Amino acid sequence: MAGPCLVIFFALLLLSSIAEASQCSVKGLPLIRNISELPQDNYGRGGLSHITIAGSVMHGMKEVELWLQTFAPGSATPIHRHSCEEVFVVLKGSGTLYLATNSHEKHPGKPQEFKIYSNSTFHIPVNDAHQVWNTNEHEDLQILVVISRPPVKVFIYEDWFMPHTAAKLKFPYYWDEQCFQVPQKDEL
């Protein structure tokens, strides 16, 4: 009786390792995938659900990454910037974008405030500090995010007047940590 149970145990163990390994496959993406079958996580950030649909670290993408993010009412991204362009498409819900275009100054400064809503899109220029908030009390904010030049290196601010030089670098970012492999150092 232990024989069949042992076989089932090892089969499940093998399947779970294959599933985990396939999440970090850099051999490319299948042509067709079902988003609902992709791994999602909040990475310790309450109110967030993140799915990497196509990523550089997870899937070997070279020029762009694509994410699906859902923010519960009242949740937000940290104030941050990165050296890539970013395009958002709001799929459902509404919220507020805060954008500081003072990347050439000593700190981001007071941000501009923009209302975002279902079927709207917005673009974040390179190195402009920004934050997205779900300010809708009754509905999730769901957005599709495209970034250029992956993988993203994020600089996080405690507030809008924190100097750029004091912003904290986060690399690899939370959703890349599991699959990120440090390049091998040259032995010479």
Q: Give Cα 7 to chain centroid, integer Å.
A: 38
* Tokens 């519960």 belong to residue: 72
Q: What is the pLDDT of residue 3?
A: 56
What are the residues facing 114 on neighbouring strands? Answer: 97
Task: Please say whether the beta carbons of 121 and 90 come within 8 A.
Answer: yes
Residue 104 has which token pair?
Answer: 């050439």
Q: What is the pLDDT of residue 21?
A: 41
* pLDDT mean by block of 10 residues, the chain; 188 residues: 46 38 66 89 93 90 95 97 96 98 90 98 96 97 96 95 96 84 58
Q: What is the pLDDT of residue 16?
A: 40
Domain map of the chain by residue range? 42-176
- Indicate whether this model's pTM tops 0.95: no
Rounded to an integer, what distance in angstroms lies between the CA atom of residue 167 and that of residue 147? 20
Q: What is the pLDDT of residue 182?
A: 65
Q: Is 82 annotated as a binding residue?
A: yes
Q: What is the pLDDT of residue 6?
A: 42
Q: What is the pLDDT of residue 185?
A: 56
Superfamily of 42-176 according to CATH: Jelly Rolls (2.60.120.10)
Task: Please say whether the beta carbons of 77 and 135 come within 8 A.
Answer: no
Rounded to an integer, what distance in angstroms lies between the CA atom of residue 132 and that of residue 78? 8
Q: What is the pLDDT of residue 164?
A: 94
Rounded to an integer, what distance in angstroms lies between the CA atom of residue 98 and that of residue 124? 10
Q: What is the pLDDT of residue 103?
A: 80
Q: What is the pLDDT of residue 183?
A: 61
Q: Is 86 annotated as a binding residue?
A: yes
Q: What is the pLDDT of residue 176?
A: 85
* Tokens 């986060």 belong to residue: 170
Q: What is the pLDDT of residue 72?
A: 98
